[in-house]
Structure 1
């Protein structure tokens, strides 16, 4: 990636958009058709019969160097994102009139965010600065920053049309929450929600309910009646600005030192970000079940942490508002990391070109990158694998769901796992007879599906991206040999279970097919996988 400080936002956004779509083409379009090969420093591929090439490094992460090109007759010409979109449409046979506009919207959003970042300052808190660093989004998504849902004109007593930028973590946004009062006879909650009571003073017979201002704008029509008849009341704004984290809809509320996960009826990448009713209940159910699991994991793998989600609160005003106003309470990383340890988002550590964030660990990496990497793999990978193999728990350790705690020297000493929406129980290994059927369904994967999710998030989405950033333009083979050594040591202690034996033998890995699911306009839960090369194969 070229310099964020020197290049124009439009040029950087074009480069990033083109790179993301081209990676998708390698993985999901040309690769499965046998139309990808390596020639010297280039990756060569064909899309819709047109030869393309780009200099690449970083192994599975596919970091590009220089401008991608297409073959025009007998000469190579610079490839634009617009041309690549047209080639993808031709290759896939058309039929998706939204695709080009989604890619273009993502590119415009990146440029807008880059311009905004030049006018704003990152949070002083290094954790929050890392949360707000993901300007380019998922590196293997065709429209990683496309987002809809700009509020329509809304009633003055809720929220006007502020647009999405006012709420964007990548633009260093912060803003106070709106506090509603929910009348006791329509209050919906479970678990420990005491922290929410500190956010506002409600009159007798009401409880405070924090709300995301963007979401209130989106729900303005549905809220009019309960606000008029007193089932809901407006308690004004919170006392301090809350800070959006990388997921956009989860905010850190400093007034109570908690993270609050809101519903947001906005499509961000593949999903409309809504807390379904069964996810509200599931968060509390999982929190009660995972306490003993993480106590065992932290005893076996010191430095293992997690962020419980002990309660939720909403208003029982029909499914639309129950879900739309639902907020999940989550512990903050500062509550679980030990003193002297600084949590940083893994996604920020994996993102090249963001020296302000990487500076926190740069000295430790520069002094001994292999040692730093070994510590990183030990902290992140081993508890994830053991959660599945020993406890039948599927964590979702993708780059936005893991915080790495570094000590004063910048060395990884803790790993913090979060977001119970993606955490599942392996079916048949947990007693769920007392859990409502729909909640139980949302909490479980079958064994094969759970293992695929672990492999994708850990071995495709996460570790390759961090390894590529550590290696820069150099080879990543040495880092993967170290990772293989760490995993082999764990496998040996476990008696070489089949799953680890296959992984370490170099079996292909499942990569989530983001381009395919966007092209088909399917729900994210229907996304399939494509096989990709296992970076451990070379060191097997």
Structure 2
């Protein structure tokens, strides 16, 4: 029976036509990419509440997952906070699988075929990213965007860590930050009266009575399906792909109506409408952290009343670093080697928790994952303070704000909640299960850093929950297998402060 070509084969064929010299390196990177995605998938199978897994049992040198149809999965112990490619094979009954695509296909669970295709894209794109990455210079970068381009593997825990469906090989090489390209953003003219604008839209992006909205070239080709003929902005892509740094200036966040990892990266009209109020509100909150946190301001935002045609003009995090300092996303810390020092990791963990819990007590839960949260380092690498960007998905508690005499801003309903669980999920799931776990690299390292840091923090109800309850994390694989359920789905990971390797029934 004829089988359609795999994502790996499709990428290899396109690469042979586009950049043939890279084909051997791509082929050499495929086994490691499969193991990296399989490790993330195995973590999800062990720790997410997937309805077709009946129970989980400890076994000799590993874990057994008993499926509701009587089959059994067997694999190694699954550290929920490990970031390495430590799973090279998983057994479904008596069949061994080293390929996450084959495993997900043969599990034959609802919506598994769709996820298997996404995993195929993730493996192929990850191998391409690793093959095309450039060697890091010994010296640390001078530009913030150069730090961003050091991050090659994408999300540290999502099986779709590098899934870029809809992007050809040529487009990945042209737009993927890990490949170091320079991107020409088009400028789409739109009559000003047809736009919603908040903040100060740059004078250089006006043409008489028209606004010039920056457009990513992928968006112009595949979504808007029309060229941008009004000049271009030369920019460097950042980790999120659709946000780019202008040389010596601000960052511009563009609409990119593509599904990367889990989400479609457009820019909603309500987020543009709320951007100025959110920016002013966040600046006021940051001022309450004794200089430990800065929030990049949204200088201006515009939308043609469409999530497909919008842009945000945002400060560069570099604005909050002195000339001798470095500011980099937390996701890029592993490229420095600094987290390998237990003492350094404790100091950084203490700084991050101090800021995150302080804002949570005031009434704001940051989505402080490794992309949104940045750290300012001294010339010697000491963590000095934090920078946060992209306020669109924070959660705000009007009741907590009121207790501290802070006026609540006018925000979309999706940003507002007084539910302590929802607030803690937002912060703990992004900061602890995301940014800190990604920097630590193992549950043991995370546990040691948290244990040394939490004793110095005020013992609020939020801190007690962090220390004593399961750690919330997004059930990323369950979300991809549940397209009929909108919004985030969650799981509880073993608390790193009492972490025991092994299985637990859910």
Regarding TM over 0.5, the answer is yes
Match of 1:531 among 480, 492, 496: 492
2:240 counterpart of 1:236: no
State the alpha-carbon separation in 2 of the partners of residues 173 and 303 from structure 1: 33
State the alpha-carbon separation in 2 of the partners of residues 72 and 51 from structure 1: 6
Within a 5 Å distance, the mapping from 1:146-225 to structure 2 comes to 146-150=163-167, 163-194=171-202, 197-198=203-204, 203-221=207-225
Shift of 1:64: 4.8
Deviations 1:218-255 (A, max 9, x none): 3435x68xxxxxxxx832222xx311111111111115
Match of 2:38 among 18, 41, 45: 18
Counterpart contact for 1:181–1:206, Cα < 8 Å: yes
State the alpha-carbon separation in 2 of the partners of residues 149 and 462 from structure 1: 28
SS in 2 for 1:526: coil
After superposition, the Cα gap between the structure-2 partners of 1:65 and 1:186, relative to the gap in structure 1 and judged at 3 Å, is closer
Q: Which moved more, 1:479-488 or 1:303-312?
A: 479-488
Shift of 1:381: 1.6
Deviations 1:309-341 (A, max 9, x none): 1320233xxx33xx3221111110111123321
Q: Which moved more, 1:278-287 or 1:481-490?
A: 481-490
SS in 2 for 1:147: coil
Shift of 1:267: 0.8
Shift of 1:39: 4.2
Taking structure 2 as the reference length, the TM-score comes to: 0.82
Deviations 1:467-507 (A, max 9, x none): 226xxxxx726x5244233223212xxxx322222322x31
The CA RMSD measured in Å over matched residues stands at 3.3
Could you tell me which residue of structure 1 aligns to residue 447 of structure 2?
Answer: 480
SS in 2 for 1:8: helix
2:412 counterpart of 1:412: no
State the alpha-carbon separation in 2 of the partners of residues 339 and 88 from structure 1: 54
Counterpart contact for 1:252–1:258, Cα < 8 Å: yes
After superposition, the Cα gap between the structure-2 partners of 1:63 and 1:148, relative to the gap in structure 1 and judged at 3 Å, is closer
Counterpart contact for 1:59–1:468, Cα < 8 Å: no
Could you tell me which residue of structure 1 aligns to residue 482 of structure 2?
Answer: 520
State the alpha-carbon separation in 1 of the partners of residues 324 and 136 from structure 2: 28
Could you tell me which residue of structure 2 aligns to residue 353 of structure 1?
Answer: none
State the alpha-carbon separation in 2 of the partners of residues 23 and 453 from structure 1: 20
Counterpart contact for 2:376–2:387, Cα < 8 Å: yes
Counterpart contact for 1:456–1:510, Cα < 8 Å: yes
SS in 2 for 1:343: strand
Match of 1:428 among 391, 399, 402: 399
2:114 counterpart of 1:114: no
Could you tell me which residue of structure 2 aligns to residue 81 of structure 1?
Answer: 100
Counterpart contact for 1:184–1:206, Cα < 8 Å: yes
Counterpart contact for 2:66–2:73, Cα < 8 Å: yes
2:115 counterpart of 1:99: yes
Deviations 1:395-454 (A, max 9, x none): 111111111221111221121111111222114345899977xx4313313332112211
Counterpart contact for 2:185–2:214, Cα < 8 Å: yes
Deviations 1:105-127 (A, max 9, x none): 22121122223326999995463
- What count of residue pairs does the alignment treat as equivalent? 469
State the alpha-carbon separation in 1 of the partners of residues 176 and 259 from structure 2: 14
Contiguous gaps of at least 5 residues in structure 1: 152-160, 225-232, 351-356, 470-474
Match of 2:75 among 19, 30, 53: 53
Could you tell me which residue of structure 2 aligns to residue 451 of structure 1?
Answer: 424
Counterpart contact for 1:517–1:527, Cα < 8 Å: yes
2:296 counterpart of 1:307: yes
Shift of 1:376: 0.6
Counterpart contact for 2:401–2:407, Cα < 8 Å: no
State the alpha-carbon separation in 1 of the partners of residues 360 and 488 from structure 2: 21
State the alpha-carbon separation in 2 of the partners of residues 374 and 274 from structure 1: 37
Match of 2:317 among 333, 337, 345: 333
State the alpha-carbon separation in 2 of the partners of residues 78 and 220 from structure 1: 41
Could you tell me which residue of structure 1 aligns to residue 270 of structure 2?
Answer: 278
Deviations 1:57-77 (A, max 9, x none): x6633645362342765xx84
After superposition, the Cα gap between the structure-2 partners of 1:121 and 1:36, relative to the gap in structure 1 and judged at 3 Å, is farther
After superposition, the Cα gap between the structure-2 partners of 1:64 and 1:433, relative to the gap in structure 1 and judged at 3 Å, is closer
Shift of 1:6: 11
Counterpart contact for 2:242–2:256, Cα < 8 Å: yes
